Structure 1
Amino acid sequence: MRIAILVALAGVVAAAATLDFHRDVPWTVVLFVPVAVVVGVRCVPARRLGLAPRVAAEVVSAVAVGLLFSIQPNAAVGVLLYVSAVYAGGEFPIRASLPLALLTGGSVTTTALLTGPADFNALWIGGSVMVTVWAGIAGRTRRERTRALEQLVEQTRLTAESEARSGALAERARIARDLHDVLAHTLSGAGMQLELADALLEAGRPDDARAAVQRARDAIADGVTEARGAVHALREDTVDLPTTLAALADGPEESVETEPVELTDPQVRAVLRVAQEAFTNARRYAPGAPVRARLVRIPDGAELTVVNGPGRPADGVRGSGMGLIGMRERAAEIGGTLQAGPNDDGGWTVRLSVPPPTVPTKEL
């Protein structure tokens, strides 16, 4: 409403220059002064004045400008008359702006009919002033709609940034789990083999120490290979699960069977990481023992089973338990369950149950 205020200020200056203050003394001066003061009050920021004082000032101005125009018709005062109605519609709620417009137009019409000037149509002037308020109301509505849209855009931007941060944190957590799955057992196993080699050297058993160092070297080499595979999988948007699972079985006693199943991308990653962890554990804790993996469809979703053994446990290899915790976390993330423990044949079984997907899926 800055334009309305500027026009009103120009109207006050023009009215001061064109009104005949010697006519209808003292009413011309008495009515002009509050009109000019209220126009000045409009220049004060709204946050410094409450709604009630501002509306009260406009009530005084509405009556004064209507009476002034009726007793002394003047183009500049006419501008103030219409601008006051537009300003009221644009600055105040409808419950206040409509009564102000009615008061302004009514004061013009009533005073003109009582004083009986013959040079303008009182009813037309008063009615047009009342209608003019809708121009201000339309402007106010447009500004409020624009402000609401700007707030919505800002809120959408903030929400998108928050979701992006959450997504980044979730991705970092996923990458951390992937790195643990690949490297934790490799490094811990190599470390224990090197500690064993040191102990064997102190005991005067160099050949056994050399064998422990070789096992540590082989574990590190396997870890490097697995790390490269994990990095490759992280860079891919989708994973060919049957092919990736089949690639896990690289030993003469290792096998993988898969049936067509419907899984989401998070479920695919969970199945793959659990299978990788199960194969890694089987090779570490029971080297040379058979390992059999099956991914099948069940009525309640899909099920991955990895069975290893029976076989001779590896010497000097102890687990930290972090791998099993990581597998359980992955199962929980997709709403599934994981069971791991010894079986009746003296081996070890890992069973991951995956629930039916609730989002668009792909068949694997």
Structure 2
Amino acid sequence: MEEQRARRCGGPPWARGGGPPLMRLWEARRNAATVPWPSTLALAVFVMVGTGFAAKGQAATSSPLDAFARVLLLAGPAFLLLRNRRPVVAVFGVAATALLYLAGGYPHGPIFITVAVGCFAAVVSGHRKAAWWALGGLWAGHLLIAHWLYAYLPPGTDDAAPWGEEVVIAAWVVAILAGSELVRIRREVWARERAERAASEKRRADEERLRIARELHDVLAHSISVINVQAGVGLALLDNDPEQARTALTTIKAASKEALGEVRQVLDTLRTQGDAPRAPAPGLDRLPELVEQAASTGLSVETETAGERVPLPPGADLAAFRIVQEALTNVVRHSGSRTARVRIAYAPGRLELRIDDEGPATGSDAGGSGNGLAGMRERAAALGGTIEAGPRPDGGFRVRADLPVRPKETM
């Protein structure tokens, strides 16, 4: 309901409330808390008892604690019951009761602690200006009472307060505000760190989900394409050439077994999060297997290697393997050509992959998901590389990947 109301009103609650987002979130969480009865009750007892002791030492210079004074002493803690849900009301309420208490000439004592608690609650919940105005109004009222209105207010025998007392009060006000601001800043930092950690965890989860989706797509797309082609061959030759049909079924069995193994490896990484995979991730050293699988579908693959071959980091090696695998899968699915060329060029700090087929496209629906090229681009982008895929000027189709890599460190 809150989200729907926020959308109707043009944004989330903190965007309309005027405070910093993290502070508004903190305030919302505080508003949901229960009324702070135990701490407020303890403070009320402390204020009543402490003021009684303070009155004994100020009997000659202050008014006696009457019923009105007792009401004011209890009114401050009563306002503090609202400090979680209505911090602005609480801080102005305790400031007003303290000012009335001063105007009555009652003995100074723990009542000012309620002002400090109300100010603290307002500042840490994001209502800094309210706290400053409340304290500023209390201070201004004290100046008027102590230096100009004292002759008209009880008790009638007191004199103007010394100006040095104002320095102490000013220091007390600054200390309250400084302490409250320090706690507010710390809580804002903690809230920001929690939000950043949550965002980081969500980002890692999304990246892991995307990585697993790419792995499953590449494994299944290639193997299922081989199985699909061989199944068609087997059905066509089942009666006329049983031996060739047997070969097609053997290829289907091998491709499905390999696909199951790779899918199981991906699923094992989900079940044993944080552990090393039981089998090494595939790399360009398995290119001959891709060539052999492609040959089983009737596709002839020519491979070429340029430059001095160097060991690649596992991430780059896996990405290169999957890019070549997906490109050959697309040739099997969508191309009428029976020949493909794979060129792997090693250069200092980079690896270039180029997969060409002569075409033309068959124009038939091969049952693909349409995510192959997107997955290749995501793999390349994760390494800081690029993918170019599209028709060649002379016909056919070309996939070219440029990956920045570092040679794998050896022990």
Q: Does the alignment reach a TM-score above 0.5?
A: yes
Of stretches 250-259 and 187-196 in structure 1, the one that deviates more from structure 2 is 250-259
Q: Which residue identity is paired with 1:362?
A: R
Aligned length: 330
Residue of structure 1 in register with 2:4 after alignment: none
Choose the corresponding residue for 1:214, options 247, 252, 256. 247
Query: CA–CA distance in 2 between the matches of 1:258 and 1:247?
Result: 20
Bigger CA radius of gyration: 1
Equivalent position to 1:193, from 233, 253, 274: 233
User: How many angstroms apart in 1 are the aligned matches of 2:74 and 2:97?
Assistant: 10
Match of 1:362 in 2: 406
Matched, 1:328 2:373: yes
1:262-306: CA deviation from partner (whole Å, max 9, x where unpaired) = 9998775454234235556879999xx7764213489xx875334
Q: Which structure: greater helix fraction?
A: 1
Equivalent residue, structure 2, for 1:353: 400
Q: 1:34-65 CA distances to partner (integer Å, 9 max, x unpaired)?
A: 53242242342235657357515522422423
User: Is this contact kept in 2: 1:256–1:293, CA < 8 A?
Assistant: yes
- Equivalent runs, 1:235-246 vs 2, <5 Å: 235=277, 241=284, 243-245=285-287
Counterpart of 1:58 in structure 2 is 95
Q: Secondary structure at the match of 1:362?
A: coil
1:36 paired to 2:85: no
Following superposition of structure 1 onto structure 2, how do residues 1-364 of structure 1 map, counting pairs within 5 Å?
6-7=42-43, 9-16=45-52, 19=55, 29=66, 32-46=69-83, 49=86, 51-52=88-89, 55-56=92-93, 58-65=95-102, 67-69=104-106, 77-80=107-110, 82-83=112-113, 86-87=116-117, 89-92=119-122, 93-104=131-142, 106-110=144-148, 117=158, 122-198=162-238, 200=239, 205=240, 208-222=241-255, 224-225=257-258, 235=277, 241=284, 243-245=285-287, 248=290, 254-259=302-307, 269-277=318-326, 292-296=341-345, 304-306=353-355, 321-322=366-367, 325=370, 327-333=372-378, 334=380, 335-339=386-390, 350-354=397-401, 361-362=405-406
Q: What CA distance in whole angstroms lies between the structure 1 residues aligned with 2:41 and 2:178?
A: 17
Is residue 282–residue 308 contact of structure 1 (8 Å, CA) maintained in 2?
yes
Identity %: 12
Letter of the 2:69 counterpart: F
Q: Which runs of 5+ in 2 are unaligned?
A: 1-35, 123-130, 270-276, 381-385
TM-aligned CA deviation for residue 144 of structure 1:
1.4
What's the offset of the Cα at 1:174? 0.9
Contact 1:336 1:355 in 2 (8 A): yes
Alpha-carbon spacing, 1:80–1:106, altered in 2? closer, same or farther (3 Å): farther
Return 5+ residue gaps in structure 1 as ranges.
Answer: 70-76, 311-317
Q: Deviation of residue 218 (structure 1)? A: 3.0
| 1:354 match: secondary structure | strand
Q: CA deviation at 1:222?
A: 4.8
Measured in 2, the distance between the counterparts of 1:24 and 1:270 equals 86
For residue 68 of structure 1, give the secondary structure of its aligned residue in structure 2: coil
Question: Kindly tell me: are residues 223 and 13 of structure 1, through their superposed partners in 2, closer, same or farther at Cα, counting changes over 3 Å?
Answer: closer
Instruction: Give the number of the structure with larger relative contact order, counting CA–CA contacts within 8 Å between residues 6 or more apart.
Output: 1
Amino acid at match of 2:343: R
